[in-house]
Amino acid sequence: MSVKALLIIVILSLLFLLSCQSEVVGSEGISSDELPKTVEPPAGMLIFADNNSNTNEQAISVGGISEEDAANLCRTILGETAEETGFMLAYRCVEIIEFEEQNYYVLTISWLVDDNHWSYIGEVMVSASGDEIYSGIVDLEGNYYLVEKLWGK
């Protein structure tokens, strides 16, 4: 899957999340207690993990890959530059989550726009075994959602 396709998925997901809050965004005098606490995922998305995830790399089982290995795998599989723009890509591990007794690294993807500034694109989840990469999104509560399997052995 190209970075362009991943970017389109992320943009559509963000538009969905924003549409869920359209009443609140345009209103004045809304307290934070009145903001929506959860957002239902779009049809076809599976919940990946919640915000009670592990953040300690020691949670990865013996024989698993490291954060650096996960970022390197993304560079190898997804690329180091965006095909559409030629912008350099960066992958950074921000969290470790658990889903169905398997650990996954959550990596953010950013690109260097016009050699000037980094711009966020989205997230990918890399299995601690190094066997799978998924695109995904995170909602306002910190829940991760599986969007599409991008690669697997």
Note the pLDDT of residue 142: 87
Instruction: Look up residue 76 and give its amino acid.
Output: T
Is the distance from CB of 59 to CB of 128 less than 8 angstroms?
no
Note the pLDDT of residue 40: 44
Is the distance from CB of 73 to CB of 126 less than 8 angstroms?
yes
Question: Number of structural domains, the chain?
Answer: 1
- The structure tokens listed for 53 are 């995830």
Give the residue among 97, 10, 17 at the shortest CA–CA distance from 51: 97
- pLDDT tens string, the chain, 153 residues long: the values are 566 666 566 665 555 554 544 333 333 444 444 444 444 444 444 444 544 444 444 444 434 999 999 999 999 999 999 999 999 999 999 999 988 888 999 999 999 999 999 999 999 999 999 999 999 898 999 888 878 999 999
Note the pLDDT of residue 9: 65
Give the residue among 152, 143, 104 at the shortest CA–CA distance from 126: 104
Is the distance from CB of 77 to CB of 133 less than 8 angstroms?
yes
Note the pLDDT of residue 98: 87
The count of other CB atoms within 10 Å of the CB of residue 139 is 20
Domain around 102: 3-152
